[in-house]
Structure 1
Amino acid sequence: MTPITEVEGRRLTLSNLDKVLHPATGTTKGELLHYYATVGPVILPHLRDRPVSFLRYPDGPGGQLFFTKNPPPGTPAWVTTTPVPRSDAPRARQVVVDGLAPLVWAANLVVEFHTPQWRAASPGVADRLVLDLDPGAPATVVECCRVALHLRERLAADGLEAFAKTSGSKGLHLLVPIVPTPSERVSAYAKQLAVAAEAELPRLVVHRMARALRPGKVFVDHSQNAAAKTTATPYTLRARTLPTASAPVTWEEVAACAETPVPDSGALVFSMGDIAPRLELYGELLEPLFDAERAGDVP
């Protein structure tokens, strides 16, 4: 019998709750849904008002993965959608997850949540800058932390405040609250930061995506500031072997990781079970992103 639950007055049909999505840990779909219900208060502010793209992995990370921006077939009428500018689809719409019921509905599809740096009311006008630090083996998150500290100082010199989170995969994301600014301008500034970081740390940083350039270095991916691009939303689970989450981290944790003498791919890895204790210990580390007084001007 398919379970039916009520969330915020909406009746939701949940499916395959006992299905194991992560064989390495025995994590079931029911546990994934429980995670999202638990972190709803902190993930929803990052989803609300932004068109959401889904990376779906209904059979777990070892099965088929597919990325979709369109509302999935069978999307309930009560799930909010918003028009989005797309050259390939002039009337395109995307889902906006604006409450706990839509969050649980989407989580039942087994998805990663990805969002742009702009809000639905102002397409292409970013209120966040993002830098995705992606290590090329044998480099790990340790090298990413060293680059993150460098970029934090560089941003601070321009009057911008950076906050860090794990990608939930191999690297780190730096998020910067900014005064609403056209995405093209933010993209240009982010590229300048990446190019300057490579010039200042040539043995550690690369700003170009070419795989041949990346072994042993950290790719500072500035491209996700483009209006058409998205980034893994804070607190989303990732389609990885382990049920890891994109988790906010303190700068003290980043600094401690950076001091690790050897590469360590296991550093700063947080599973879904780690997030509730971290929230109890640290609170919402990314809350300043929503404080207009903390937003800086892009040079």
Structure 2
Amino acid sequence: MAEKVRVRVGDRELTLTNLGKVLYPAQGFTKAEVIDYYSRIAPVMLPHLRGRPLTVKRYPGGVAAPFFFEKNRPAHTPAWVRTVRLPAPGSTKNRSTIDYAVVDDLPTLVYFAGLAALEFHTPMWRVDEEGRPLPPDIMVFDLDPGPPATVVECCRVAVRLREVLRDHGLEGHPKTSGNKGMQVYVPWAGRAEDPSDVAKAVAELLESQRPGEIVSKMARKLRPGKVFIDWSQNNPAKTTVTPYSLRANPAPTVSTPLTWAEVEACTDPRELVLTPEDALERAAAHGDLMGP
């Protein structure tokens, strides 16, 4: 029988189960530690989650066992969790709509952490108070290294990307993906242009300037040894890993905001492998490096 613990989070009562379950076997990192991390990182993570329809990757058996993506909120989700019903064009499950959860507060974040939702993924747009989609407020560039390239090469591309963005009056904000690459977010609220069109044009420009280092097309045969600038993440149907989300690697890593000085100075991929404790220490010292 699964162990159950009743806890109070803010003004909500939650039932948490299997807190001793090891979700990262290589580190002995348990579900209780996952929940503790998300509870402590919440002040800087919640602003990135609020208003955004949620997709999670759940690992009930831990990172070494099968996982599943979940967009439709679980059937047993408490009534107090905010839900928005949105169209589901191209749904692989033939749904016309999806009931998305929206993580607007700490109890909701803890609830999903208690479901072994290790990874949180969100789109570049929010919904309004009535649940209607708003225009994108972020443009994103996803930098993916094709081996033997690493995040070090991604950092070099990110610095060049920053220069091009600044030439157009835009400011980029870098973060690790928590895996092998990184992302650069660009504030986009209030702009009329389609961020996907702009991101594609920027990626193609950078590829034309440095064809030996950069590729803007998705074909895998083009990518070995280069950094793929994935501009297609700006498609409204796509999501990107949320800042401060854990990643399901053998040891827990975090998609962590960076300073441009760290990006410029990176010479070893290990420098940008950041753990939950690293993320918490950085948030305590600097606040949210991707904050408003």
* Shorter-normalised TM range: over 0.9
CA-CA distance at 1:181 after TM superposition: 4.5
**Aligned match of 1:247:** 256
**Aligned match of 1:54:** 56
Structure 1 residue 6 corresponds to structure 2 residue 11: no
**Aligned match of 2:78:** 76
The structure 2 residue matched to 1:161, chosen from 158, 162, 171, is 171
**Aligned match of 1:151:** 161
| Structure 1: distance between partners of 2:26 and 2:97 | 42
**Contact preservation (8 Å) 2:44, 2:287:** no
| Structure 2: distance between partners of 1:59 and 1:219 | 32
| Structure 2: distance between partners of 1:226 and 1:244 | 26
SS in 1 for 2:265: helix
SS in 2 for 1:134: strand
The structure 1 residue matched to 2:122, chosen from 100, 115, 122, is 115
**Aligned match of 2:184:** 174
CA-CA distance at 1:110 after TM superposition: 1.5
Structure 1 residue 101 corresponds to structure 2 residue 110: no
**Contact preservation (8 Å) 2:144, 2:182:** yes
The structure 2 residue matched to 1:211, chosen from 207, 217, 220, is 220
CA-CA distance at 1:36 after TM superposition: 0.4
Structure 1 residue 277 corresponds to structure 2 residue 286: no
**Aligned match of 1:291:** none
**Aligned match of 1:268:** 272
| Structure 1: distance between partners of 2:244 and 2:189 | 24
**Aligned match of 2:231:** 222
SS in 2 for 1:191: helix
Aligned residues: 282
**Aligned match of 2:290:** 286
RMSD of Structure 2 on Structure 1 (CA): 1.4
CA-CA distance at 1:238 after TM superposition: 0.7
Q: TM-score, normalised by structure 2?
A: 0.93
Describe the superposition over 1:38-57 as per-residue Cα deviations: whole angstroms up to 9, x where unpaired: 01111111101111111111
CA-CA distance at 1:24 after TM superposition: 1.4
CA-CA distance at 1:124 after TM superposition: 5.9
Q: Letter of the aligned partner of 1:63 in structure 2?
A: A
**Contact preservation (8 Å) 1:244, 1:272:** yes
| Structure 1: distance between partners of 2:204 and 2:153 | 17
Q: Letter of the aligned partner of 1:116 in structure 2?
A: P
Q: Letter of the aligned partner of 2:57 in structure 1?
A: L
**Contact preservation (8 Å) 2:174, 2:260:** yes
| Structure 2: distance between partners of 1:14 and 1:144 | 39
**Regions of 4+ moved over 3 Å:** 88-91
Give percent identity, aligned residues only: 51
**Aligned match of 1:37:** 39
| Structure 2: distance between partners of 1:38 and 1:132 | 27
Describe the superposition over 1:184-218 as per-residue Cα deviations: whole angstroms up to 9, x where unpaired: 81111111111111111111111111111111111
Q: Letter of the aligned partner of 1:91 in structure 2?
A: T
| Structure 2: distance between partners of 1:110 and 1:21 | 8
Describe the superposition over 1:141-189 as per-residue Cα deviations: whole angstroms up to 9, x where unpaired: 000000000000101111111000000111111001013357x811111
**Aligned match of 2:149:** 139
Note the 1:82-93 alignment, pairs <5 A. 82-87=84-89, 88=91, 89-93=95-99
**Aligned match of 2:137:** 127
Structure 1 unmatched ranges of 5 or more: 289-299
Q: TM-score, normalised by structure 1?
A: 0.91
Q: Letter of the aligned partner of 1:85 in structure 2?
A: P
| Structure 1: distance between partners of 2:114 and 2:189 | 35
**Aligned match of 1:16:** 18
**Contact preservation (8 Å) 1:123, 1:227:** no
CA-CA distance at 1:85 after TM superposition: 2.7
Q: Letter of the aligned partner of 1:158 in structure 2?
A: H
CA-CA distance at 1:219 after TM superposition: 0.7
| Structure 2: distance between partners of 1:276 and 1:91 | 37
